[in-house]
């Protein structure tokens, strides 16, 4: 064997080994990339699921808060109407100048009635009934 043929043989073996190493590296790179794609898809699915869950939770909180605010607003309107009823009642009582007569052995005393006392009493006893009448469904 001549030196040129030995060199050609060594060169051929080196190229074959190089090709084998490159194929192996390419196969490994494809495997690593495939694994990375699968991991990325899994992470994407988890993040998307978490974000959807968070968004739904926030949506529900906002809906509940809006409903609560609507109920508070409605309650405030109803309380305002009830207050108007009692203010009108008070106005009518004051216009009529309700008096009470206290009878003693020697005399009778006619004095203005304490309207606030009776309004408070009537309100505590009849407020729920007035609300029922004002706000009953037709």
pLDDT surpasses 80 at 34: yes
Specify the pLDDT at position 118.
Answer: 76
Residue 86, domain extent: 3-135
| 26, pLDDT greater than 90 | yes
pLDDT beyond 70 at 138: no
CA dihedral 66, 71, 75, 78 (to 10 degrees): 110
The answer, yes or no, to whether residue 27 has pLDDT greater than 80, is yes
pTM: predicted TM-score of the whole model, two decimal places: 0.56
Please give the mean pLDDT across all residues of the chain: 88
Q: How many domains does the chain have?
A: 1
Q: What does DSSP assign to residue 6?
A: H
User: Is-contact 99 116, C-beta < 8 A?
Assistant: no
Give pLDDT, residue 20.
96
pLDDT digits (tens, 9 = 90+) for 61-108: 999 999 999 999 988 998 898 889 888 888 887 777 777 778 888 888
Question: Is the torsion defined by CA of 32, 33, 34, 35 positive or negative?
Answer: positive
């Amino acid at each position: 064997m001549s030196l040129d043929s030995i060199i050609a043989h060594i060169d051929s073996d080196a190229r074959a080994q190089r090709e084998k190493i490159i194929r192996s590296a390419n196969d490994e790179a494809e495997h690593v990339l495939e694994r990375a794609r699968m991991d990325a898809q899994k992470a994407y699915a988890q993040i998307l699921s978490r974000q959807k869950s968070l968004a739904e939770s926030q949506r529900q909180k906002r809906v509940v808060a809006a409903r609560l605010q609507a109920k508070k607003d409605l309650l405030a309107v109803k309380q305002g109407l009830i207050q108007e009823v009692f203010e009108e009642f008070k106005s009518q009582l004051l216009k009529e100048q309700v008096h009470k007569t206290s009878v003693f052995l020697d005399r009778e005393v006619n004095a203005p009635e304490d309207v606030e006392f009776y309004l408070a009493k009537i309100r505590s006893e009849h407020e729920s009934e007035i609300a029922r009448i004002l706000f009953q469904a037709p």
